[in-house]
């Protein structure tokens, strides 16, 4: 039987980005908070130190920082007609685990979604008409605007110390920044990082074609920075071990570097690691959560009671936890009813490559996670889609992150995959190749969704999450268009050969693409098509707030973390200024 | 499986080592290393196959030494003998069903079991065909045999031959390019070949020297260049959070 412990004011499920922000805001508001983290307590010193951190095999190939898939993975299938099978080894996406969550191993790419992303349904209907949206595409509005989120984006970026160049301050467009962005209230906290060689070549080519090149906004900092919490970060050294790794230099903005030292010192906060939450407990009314049941590191099952529950695990795990807790109606694609698991979306990637002459030393190992130069001319709805037959788009950039050779040893098409010719091609091209990212959006559809698997279980005997996903026709067309535009830029970059093909079906979980899994607990204005309201509060159980990329009704062209951080501050603000004064639903059903 | 004496095994390995074209110093050390090698996982027959096969996958040639010189078989042996070989990164609950290729690996075998089953079946296959040890075949015949494994899904003790081949190629590349602390990439041969600097941590001064030829020798995890432990630049005192934005300096 579960042991009952004394009640606390609030429980955080997961102590990553969302947990750290909510923990800080709720303790500041006077609440006693317990953070439940399934993984290990991890700190820059001693856990992330060099040179041991610079180990490609351990961290990038064998994925040492990721969710323990031997105990808890997902099952995957393309369509409801297929049988889902477990993802037995991580590849396509890499959820993290442990204190700091996936933000420990992120690259630091820090983008605001645009207002037309937040209003994607109504914006598309207004500009192109309802018929422009393909059948079964279930995009919808988020229930918030970019203007409402701006102060929260601003706060989050100043917490992180993001290095970038504004393209629009209070409505004034600024050349050299992203001129497509919505107005921001002020410049980035720190200037852009240095521009690597391949990125400079891309800039020249893109500008020559009339596009608006700008430095990628980065949380690998360009200079030392002290954030409003009083924590200082260092300058990034371009070591080439960023994504999939933790930073030993205090140069990447993570919960460890921007918040946790304060939170962990706060007497109102208690961190419990090695604690796997099994489910949220709901009372007989079905409308109030009483706490959670978790298994601690020694295997003991414990019930912890609290009046407020913050679900801040990885996106897909947020959806699974609600399904296991029976909070919200599970989505059923056949009836098109229910909400939890609905609108799972991803990212539609392609990677053209430019092969240069041997006189061009690209030095791919001198890179940071979020450096480089890009354009947003083909992101979201920044271009006219009228004659194109799809919605969404991609940012395009020479934003290479590393030259780690197990993963990066490019060869031109037609090269054998082993033997003398392969080896000679690797030697010839390793230091003379640029990869260009085409980072495409992902629409939601009726048939891409998450639910509980009927067969496979985790180490605690609970059903795994089942992912049903393949790339929608809309996104296949988007990728074809944006990849072609990228190849045109690549041809202006002075290479001998430009290669690359757009994303095609079927989705392959054995190929790394991105760790940008979105949806499943989406936000919105209508309880029949969303799990949480605009403040990320459960429609069904109002003392449960669910926060993360699981809130995205569909995914935009940009990386998700900045928008997750802004949503976390937006929700925290609503909890502190509205909910705590009068606990109950913040929106009427 | 074909029984071969320690002596003939060494002769086989010698043939493979002699076939390479490499700088004299590399060749010399390679022959010594092979003779001294102690494998924790591989039997002598298995080792003879692996040594010969990895050298066909990444051969020594005029660009430099190959997988055998880099001790890739030692890397593979240690991986298979250790936690990874025992399935440390695999979800291992049934039921076991075959799926689409895009659903990923679905066999019940750990990497160690996969290699053992496949290598046993390969040995039997060669013996039945009276072709002798793989290591003794001519290089072009070795290539042809590997191509057969790669292009077909012949049953190797429950392991489709293309799955075994992909696993072998993948782990060979890992052994050629991973840090030498894992037993392969000996003397950082793989890194020197392509100009990868290894665990080196700071390119801040070089990144904007566009096109610079970076000539510094690579660094392994076993070399801690500075011995530095990084400290958080400022440890904020308890409760010292400021409400106002600090200007970056």
Its ipTM equals 0.96
Please report, in tens digits, the pLDDT of each residue of chain A (589 residues total): 455 555 899 999 999 999 999 999 999 999 999 999 999 999 999 999 988 999 999 999 999 999 999 999 999 999 999 999 999 999 999 999 999 999 999 999 999 999 999 999 999 999 999 999 999 999 999 999 999 999 999 999 999 999 999 999 999 999 999 999 999 999 999 999 999 999 999 999 999 999 999 999 999 999 999 999 999 999 999 999 999 999 999 999 999 999 999 999 999 999 999 999 999 999 999 999 999 999 999 999 999 999 999 999 999 999 999 999 999 999 999 999 999 999 999 999 999 999 999 999 999 999 999 999 999 999 999 999 999 999 999 999 999 999 999 999 999 999 999 999 999 999 999 999 999 999 999 999 999 999 999 999 999 999 999 999 999 999 999 999 999 999 999 999 999 999 999 999 999 999 999 999 999 999 999 999 999 999 999 999 999 999 999 999 999 999 999 999 999 999 999 999 999 999 999 999 8
CB contact under 8 Å between B89 and A69, yes or no, is yes
pLDDT at B245 over 80: no
In a domain, B199, yes or no: no
How does pLDDT run across A17-72, given as a tens digit for each residue? 999 999 999 999 999 999 999 999 999 999 999 889 999 999 999 999 999 999 99
- Residue B191 burial (10 A CB sphere; 0-12, 13-18, 19+): buried
Instruction: Write b or e for each residue in A284-297: b if 16 or more Cβ atoms lie within 10 A of its Cβ, otherwise e.
Output: eeeeebbbbbbbee
Q: Do A237 and B202 touch (CB under 8 A)?
A: yes
* Minimal Cβ distance to B221: which of A52, A229, A266: A52
Chain A residues whose beta carbon lies within 8 Å of the beta carbon of residue B179: 55-57
Return the residue of B nearest to A188 by Cα: B248
Contact B85, B104 (CB under 8 A): no
Q: What is the largest CA-CA distance in chain B?
A: 81
B211 to A226: CB separation less than 8 angstroms, yes or no: no
Domain membership of residue B138 (yes or no) is yes
**B246 closest CB neighbour out of A89, A228, A455:** A228
Tally of domains in chain A: 1
Q: Are strands A301-311 and A3-13 parallel, antiparallel or unpaired?
A: parallel
A197–B202 C-beta distance less than 8 A: no
B90 — contact with chain A (CB < 8 Å)?
A: yes
CB spacing of A361 vs B213 below 8 angstroms: yes
Q: Determine contact, residues A505/A476, Cβ cutoff 8 Å.
A: yes
Domain count, chain B: 1
CA distance B97 to chain A (A): 8
pLDDT at B190 over 90: yes
> CA–CA separation, B72 vs B60, rounded Å?
13
β-strands A74-77, A463-468 pairing: parallel
Task: Read off the pLDDT of residues A373-394 as tens digits, 9 standing for 90 and up.
Answer: 999 999 999 999 999 999 999 9
Interacting residues of B65 by C-beta distance below 8 A, sequence separation 6+ = B20, B22, B23, B26, B30, B189, B193
Question: Of all residues in chain B, what percent are helix, strand and coil, respectively (each to 5)?
Answer: 45, 5, 50
pLDDT of B225 = 57
Residue A187 gets which letter from DSSP? -
Residues of B in contact with A224 (CB under 8 A): 233, 248-249
Tell me whether residue B207 is in a domain.
Answer: no
Tell if the CB–CB gap between A239 and B234 is shorter than 8 Å. no
Helices (H) and strands (E) in chain B, counts: 8, 2
State how far residue B134 is from chain A, nearest Cα, in angstroms: 17
- What pLDDT does B131 receive? 79
Does B7 or A239 have the greater pLDDT score?
Answer: A239
Q: Is residue B147 part of a domain?
A: yes
Decide if B233 and A236 are in contact by the 8 Å CB cutoff.
no
The reported pLDDT for the residue numbered B224 is 64
Q: List all residues of chain B from 1 to 20 with a beta carbon under 8 Å from chain A.
A: none
Indicate the pLDDT class of residue B238, thresholds 50, 70 and 90: very low
Give B 215-244 residues with CB within 8 A of chain A. Answer: 219-221, 223-225, 228-236, 238-244
Contact A355, A433 (CB under 8 A): yes
Q: Does a cis peptide bond (omega within 30 degrees of 0) precede residue B95?
A: yes
How many whole angstroms separate alpha carbon A163 and alpha carbon A193? 6
Sheet with A353-355: strands ordered across = A433-435, A353-355, A497-499
Quick check: is A588 in a domain? Answer: no
Count of pairs with CB atoms under 8 A, one residue in A, one in B? 251
Do A231 and B232 lie within an 8 Å CB cutoff?
A: yes
Question: CB-based burial of residue A9 (10 Å sphere; 0-12 exposed, 13-18 middle, 19+ buried)?
Answer: middle
Question: How confident is the model at residue B248, as a pLDDT?
Answer: 35
CATH of the domain at A151: 3.50.50.60
A444 — phi, psi (to 5°)?
-85, 150
When CB atoms are compared, the residue of A69, A70, A417 closest to B169 is A417
The confidence score (pLDDT) of residue B2 equals 37
Burial class (CB in 10 A: 0-12, 13-18, 19+), A413: exposed
Contact A197 B210 (CB under 8 A): yes
Contacts of A163 in chain B (CB under 8 A): none
Omega prior to A482 cis, within 30 of 0 = no
- Cα dihedral A94, A99, A103, A104 sign: negative
- All residues of chain B having their beta carbon less than 8 Å from the beta carbon of residue A52 are 221
Whether A532 and A148 have beta carbons less than 8 Å apart is answered as no
| Interchain pair B63, A424: CB under 8 A | yes
Paired with A23 in beta bridges are none
Asked if A193 contacts A222 with a C-beta cutoff of 8 angstroms, the reply is: yes
Interface of B with A in 30-89 (CB under 8 A): 56-59, 61, 63-64, 66, 84, 87-89
* CA distances from residue B171 to A302, A351, B58, B102 in whole angstroms, order as listed: 43, 24, 12, 20
- Closest chain A residue to the Cα of B93, Cα to Cα: A456
CA-based nearest distance B152→chain A, Å: 16
Per-residue pLDDT tens for B24-74?
334 334 444 455 557 999 999 999 999 999 999 999 999 999 999 999 999
Please report whether residue B213 resides in a domain: no
Which positions of A are catalytic?
516
Q: Residue A406: list chain B partners with CB under 8 A.
A: 173-174, 177-178
Q: Do B106 and A88 touch (CB under 8 A)?
A: yes
User: B170 lies in a domain?
Assistant: yes
Residue A95 makes CB contacts below 8 A (sequence gap 6+) with A66, A67, A102, A314, A316, A317, A515, A517
Cβ neighbours for B51, distance < 8 A, ≥ 6 positions apart: B13, B16, B34, B68, B73, B135
Q: Per the domain annotation, does A233 fall within a domain?
A: yes
In a domain, A584, yes or no: no
Separation in Å, CA of B222 to nearest CA in chain A: 8
CA distance B123 to chain A (A): 22
Tell me how far CA of residue A411 lies from CA of A47, A425, A431, A525, B249, in angstroms.
Answer: 36, 6, 11, 49, 43
Contact in structure between A61 and A512 (CB atoms under 8 Å): no
Q: How far is it, in rounded angstroms, from Cα B96 to Cα A86?
A: 10
Neighbour-count burial of A356, counting CB atoms closer than 10 A to its CB (0-12 exposed, 13-18 middle, 19+ buried):
buried
pTM equals 0.93
- Our CA-based measurement puts residue B182 at a distance from the nearest CA of chain A, in whole angstroms, of 9
Sign (positive/negative) of CA torsion A287, A288, A292, A293?
negative
Domain coverage including residue A564: 3-52+59-579
Nearest Cβ partner for A231 among B58, B172, B236: B236
For B57, the closest of A69, A418, A430 (CB atoms) is: A418
- For residue A589, being part of any structural domain is answered with no
Nearest to A87 among B64, B88, B104 (CB): B104
Rounded to the nearest 10 degrees, the angle between the axes of helix A561-574 and helix A146-160 is: 110
CB-nearest to A427 from B63, B204, B244 is: B63
Assigned token pair, A56: 């490609």
Pick from B163, B113, B70, B88: nearest CA to A58: B88
Say yes or no for a CB contact (<8 Å) between B202 and A239. Answer: yes
Write the CB contacts of A14 (distance below 8 Å, at least 6 apart in sequence).
A36, A37, A38, A101, A311, A312, A313, A314, A317
Q: Examine residue B224 and state whether it is found in any structural domain, yes or no.
A: no
pLDDT of residue B174 exceeding 70, the answer is: yes
Q: What is the DSSP string of A68-95?
A: -TTTS-EEEESSTTSPPEE--S--S---
A120 Cβ partners below 8 Å, 6+ apart?
A: A139, A140, A141, A391, A553, A554, A556
Q: From the CA of B39, how many Å to the nearest CA of chain A?
A: 21
Task: Name every residue whose Cβ is closer than 8 Å to that of residue A304 and which is 6 or more positions away in sequence.
Answer: A5, A8, A11, A34, A36, A291, A292, A293, A294
Smallest Cβ–Cβ distance between B210 and the set A54, A200, A223 belongs to A200
What does the block give as tokens for A121? 């349904």
Structural domain span for residue B137: 6-194
> Is B123 a domain residue?
yes
Residue B213 burial (10 A CB sphere; 0-12, 13-18, 19+): exposed
Contact list in B for residue A195 (CB cut-off 8 A) is 208
B89 and A70 in contact by Cβ < 8 A? yes
């Amino acid at each position: 039987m579960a042991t009952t412990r004394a009640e606390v004011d609030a429980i955080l499920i997961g102590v990553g980005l969302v947990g750290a922000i909510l923990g800080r805001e709720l303790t500041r508001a006077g609440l006693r908070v317990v953070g439940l983290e399934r993984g290990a307590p991890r700190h820059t010193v001693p856990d992330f130190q060099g040179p041991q951190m610079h180990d490609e095999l351990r961290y990038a190939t064998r994925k040492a920082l990721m969710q323990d898939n031997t105990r808890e993975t997902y099952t995957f299938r393309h369509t409801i007609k297929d049988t889902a099978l477990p993802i037995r080894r991580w590849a396509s996406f890499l959820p993290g685990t442990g204190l700091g969550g996936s933000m420990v191993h992120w690259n630091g790419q820090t983008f605001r979604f645009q207002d037309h992303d937040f209003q994607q349904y109504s914006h598309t209907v207004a500009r192109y008409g309802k018929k422009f949206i393909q059948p079964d595409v279930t995009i919808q509005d988020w229930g918030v605007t970019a203007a409402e989120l701006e102060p929260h984006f601003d706060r989050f970026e100043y917490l992180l110390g993001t290095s970038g160049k504004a393209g629009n301050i209070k409505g004034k467009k600024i050349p050299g920044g992203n001129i497509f962005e919505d107005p921001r209230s002020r410049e980035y906290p720190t200037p852009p990082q240095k521009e690597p060689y391949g990125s400079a070549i891309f800039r020249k080519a893109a500008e020559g074609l009339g596009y608006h090149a700008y430095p990628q906004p980065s949380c690998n900092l360009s200079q030392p920075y002290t954030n409003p919490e009083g924590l200082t970060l260092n300058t990034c050294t371009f070591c080439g071990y960023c994504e999939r790794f933790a930073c030993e230099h205090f140069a990447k903005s993570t919960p460890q570097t921007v918040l946790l030292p304060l939170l962990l010192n706060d007497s109102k906060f208690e961190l419990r690691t090695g604690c796997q939450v099994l489910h949220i407990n709901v009372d007989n009314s079905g409308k109030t959560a009483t706490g959670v049941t978790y298994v601690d590191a020694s295997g003991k099952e414990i019930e912890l009671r609290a009046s407020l529950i913050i679900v801040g695990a990885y996106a897909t795990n947020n959806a699974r936890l609600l399904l296991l807790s029976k909070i919200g109606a599970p989505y059923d694609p056949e009836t098109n009813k229910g909400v939890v698991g609905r609108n799972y979306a991803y990212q539609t990637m392609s990677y053209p490559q430019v092969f240069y002459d041997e006189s061009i030393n690209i030095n791919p190992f001198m890179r940071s996670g979020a450096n480089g130069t890009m354009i947003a001319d083909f992101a979201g709805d920044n271009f006219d889609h009228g004659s194109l037959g799809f919605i969404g788009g991609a940012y395009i950039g020479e934003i290479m992150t590393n030259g780690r050779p197990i993963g990066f040893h490019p060869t031109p098409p037609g090269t054998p995959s082993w033997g003398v010719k392969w080896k000679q091609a690797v030697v010839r091209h390793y230091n003379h190749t640029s990869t260009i990212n085409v980072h495409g959006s992902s629409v939601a559809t009726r048939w891409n969704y998450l639910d509980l698997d009927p067969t496979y279980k985790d180490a605690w005997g609970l059903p795994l999450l089942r992912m049903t996903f393949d790339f929608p026709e809309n996104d296949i067309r988007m990728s074809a268009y944006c990849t072609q535009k990228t190849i045109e830029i690549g041809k202006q970059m002075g290479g001998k050969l430009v290669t690359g093909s757009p994303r095609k079906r079927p989705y392959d979980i054995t190929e790394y693409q991105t760790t940008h899994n979105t949806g499943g607990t989406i936000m919105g204005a209508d309880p029949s098509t969303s799990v949480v309201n605009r403040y990320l509060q459960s429609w069904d159980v109002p003392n449960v707030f669910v926060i993360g990329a699981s809130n995205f009704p569909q995914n935009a062209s940009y990386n998700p973390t900045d928008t997750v951080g802004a949503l976390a501050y937006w929700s925290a603000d609503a909890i502190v200024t509205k909910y705590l004064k009068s606990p109950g639903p913040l929106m009427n059903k | 499986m074909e029984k071969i004496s320690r002596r003939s095994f060494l002769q086989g390995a010698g043939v493979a080592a002699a076939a390479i074209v490499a700088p004299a110093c590399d060749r010399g050390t390679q022959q010594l290393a092979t003779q001294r090698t102690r494998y924790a996982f591989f039997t002598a027959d298995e080792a003879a196959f692996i040594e010969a096969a990895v050298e066909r996958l990444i051969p020594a040639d005029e660009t430099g030494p190959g997988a055998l010189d880099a001790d890739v078989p030692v890397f593979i042996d240690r991986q298979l003998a250790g936690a990874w070989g025992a399935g440390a990164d695999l979800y291992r609950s049934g039921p076991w069903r075959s799926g689409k290729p895009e659903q990923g690996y679905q066999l019940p075998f750990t990497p160690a079991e996969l290699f053992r089953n496949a290598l046993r079946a390969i040995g039997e296959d060669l013996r039945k065909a009276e072709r002798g040890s793989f290591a003794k075949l001519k290089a072009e015949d070795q290539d042809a045999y590997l191509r057969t494994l790669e292009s077909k899904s012949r049953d190797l003790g429950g392991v489709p031959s293309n799955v075994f081949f992909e696993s072998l190629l993948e782990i060979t590349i890992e052994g050629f390019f991973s840090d030498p602390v894992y037993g392969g990439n000996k003397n950082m041969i793989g890194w020197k070949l392509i100009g990868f600097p290894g665990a080196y941590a700071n390119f801040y001064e070089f990144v904007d020297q566009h096109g610079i030829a970076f000539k510094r020798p690579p660094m392994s995890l076993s070399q801690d260049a500075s011995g530095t432990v990084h400290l958080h630049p400022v440890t904020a005192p308890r409760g010292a959070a400021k409400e106002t934005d600090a200007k970056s300096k």
